[in-house]
Each structure stands twice: as structure tokens, then as C-alpha cells.
Amino acid sequence: MSQHNSPIFPQQLVTALKERGMAASDLARAIGVSPTAVWNWQHGNTSPRPAALESVAAAPGVTSQFLLYGPPTGDDEVDEIETVAAVLEAAKVKIAELTGISIENVKLRLEMAAD
């Protein structure tokens, strides 16, 4: 069952993967789901859970807003504010992709020191 109601999500996902040169199996491996799950997302049969959407978007280097609503157009264009959480999630996806381990097994620790 679909977790969100974006009618353009399947096509946006296909576009994002194609532009990055990623196969569905690459995305599946990067975020720790089955290739069948990605295939179902691409064909509109199911959608990723909201909690997984950031990982799905980060793997091909797009935002969840792009996947759900498409690219910004004209006056509606809003600068995306990059958050620490988004940067860390993208890093987890990339580390999983490079090492071949499941994203669930990638744990990052951030330590920040004040000046």
C-alpha cells in the first residue's frame, strides 16, 4: 500500500536514477531494500515509507521534494536549506553504496566542538 499520495513519484524516481546512471538494484543495495521493492516504487504499485523517503532521495542525489512534487518551477522555486540531518543521511547512503553493506548497518557519530 502507498505511504504517500504523490502521483508523480514513480516517474520522478525513474528520472532521478536514470540521470545518476543508477539501476534499481543499485538503489536497493544502497538503502537496504529488495530490488522488487524498488521495482514496485518505479511502477507505482507501492511507495517507500515516509521514514525511508530521505534515504531513497539521497541515493541518487535528489531531495524528497523532487521525488514527491517534481523540480521547482518559476516563482515556486525555493532554495532548499541543507540540514545536518540531510547531509548525514546522504553520507550514510554513500558509505553503504561504497562498502556494499546495508544502510541500516551504517552508524555515524558526529562530534562538534565549540570555538
- Answer yes or no: is pLDDT of 78 > 50: no
pTM, to two decimals:
0.64
Q: 2-6, 47-51, 55-59, 86-90 — which is least confidently predicted?
A: 2-6
Distance (Å, whole) CA 86 – CA 104:
16
Q: How confident is the model at residue 103 (pLDDT cuts 50, 70, 90)?
A: confident
Compute the chain's Rg from CA coordinates.
15
Which structural domains are found in the chain, ordered by start?
Answer: 9-105 (1.10.260)
3-state SS assignment for residue 49: coil
Grid look-up 507501492 returns 46
- pLDDT digit string, tens, across residues 37-71: 999 999 999 999 888 899 999 999 998 888 988 88
